[in-house]
Chain A
């Protein structure tokens, strides 16, 4: 299976700062099949980005995705208070779909 490794494990930032999250795959992922999710405590994951760079419906434009092959990035241009959460990448190129272990973005 395609193992996804996210870094860093925890990102400590202040509101208004820029967040850069990394996702590295053990096997190449077609760009059309890499997603990012946001999860807050006690809630289901929320789809942010699909196709590596396309924002899902209703997602603010401060969220952007980029990358190809084995290296992908989620960028939050200016952190809002509601953005502090755990973020997961997912590949849905080859079964079984797999998720990274998550990056926690916490308030510094």
Chain B
């Protein structure tokens, strides 16, 4: 059973960079796309982007100028960096696996709350 776990600071100051890591267990990170999705409190889901195990990325244009994703296959981890954060970036951040083909995000982490505040 594939499991994903987000980790990183729960509090980030405005204008700084949010950094999160997702650790994958129970399966290999290879040959899949891995996504980041966020959800502000009481609101809907926003797809941030995805990274393939080779390092190829697709980002949401609304965040593209501030987002960087990376993957470390040796550690079975992938990461998200979001720069120049504001209070609008406060949300629960989820990492997820795309199942491949016509299967979208099928395995999700439990989510981690990141608050942007001074």
Contact = CB atoms under 8 A, between A and B. Distances in A.
A32 B45 contact: no
Contact of B62 (A43, A96, A101): A96
A1 B110 CA distance: 27
Given A95-B58, A96-B62, A99-B44, A90 B104 contact: yes
A63 interface: no
A63 B43 CA distance: 24
Interface string A87-102: 0101010011111111
Interface in A21-61: 32-33, 35, 37, 43-47, 50-51, 54, 56-57
Determine chain B's interface SS by DSSP, over half rule: strand
Interface residues of B, number: 24
B32 to A, nearest CB: 14
A47 B44 contact: no
Contacts of B44: 88, 99-102
13 contacts: A1-B61, A33-B102, A44-B96, A44-B108, A44-B109, A45-B105, A54-B102, A56-B103, A56-B106, A90-B104, A96-B49, A97-B35, A99-B45
